[in-house]
Chains A and B, each alone.
Chain A
Amino acid sequence: AQSVTQPDIHITVSEGASLELRCNYSYGATPYLFWYVQSPGQGLQLLLKYFSGDTLVQGIKGFEAEFKRSQSSFNLRKPSVHWSDAAEYFCAVGVNYGGSQGNLIFGKGTKLSVKP
């Protein structure tokens, strides 16, 4: 069965420090991978996506993620965190029903706190 694991429930980093949020997936075919961010009381905003091709993908707000098939991972990184990055981050895999659109399967999320 498809699944997404985010091992870290809560991470605290200092402003200006680098960030890496971990994501592991289980999916039988070529995965379509996403990172979303959710601020309190808000919906989810797409940070970046991986469909195919270059395994290092760039997103909005200075985020990037690297797809590693051998490790079934899609970790999110940012070289220098800003206080406004404090939010909850969700990794998701898109289900592909034989070429047709399918739903997203989300991890449980990682809450990021930023220390001044």
Chain B
Amino acid sequence: KQEVTQIPAALSVPEGENLVLNCSFTDSAIYNLQWFRQDPGKGLTSLLLIQSSQREQTSGRLNASLDKSSGRSTLYIAASQPGDSATYLCAVITQGGSEKLVFGKGTKLTVNP
């Protein structure tokens, strides 16, 4: 059974700092990995999608890497801003697993001005 773990559960940083969020998964047979952002009381916004054959994806100040063999992904946020404050969720689709996303519990990020 696929399990996804995100560390840390919460992170508080000063504005301008570069930071890394971690995600690990137990079954390396995945189709892809997605990083989402969730603002309080809101839905999920997809940030980056990394296919299993890819090593990284970039969007603006965000860079996500994938090491499928070790079951790890990182989300790097450069020059953090208060507007980046949200919960970040990592999720994977496992091959042969009904196409469902298996989610981690998220990392709650607070960027202080």
Decide whether A and B assemble into one complex: no
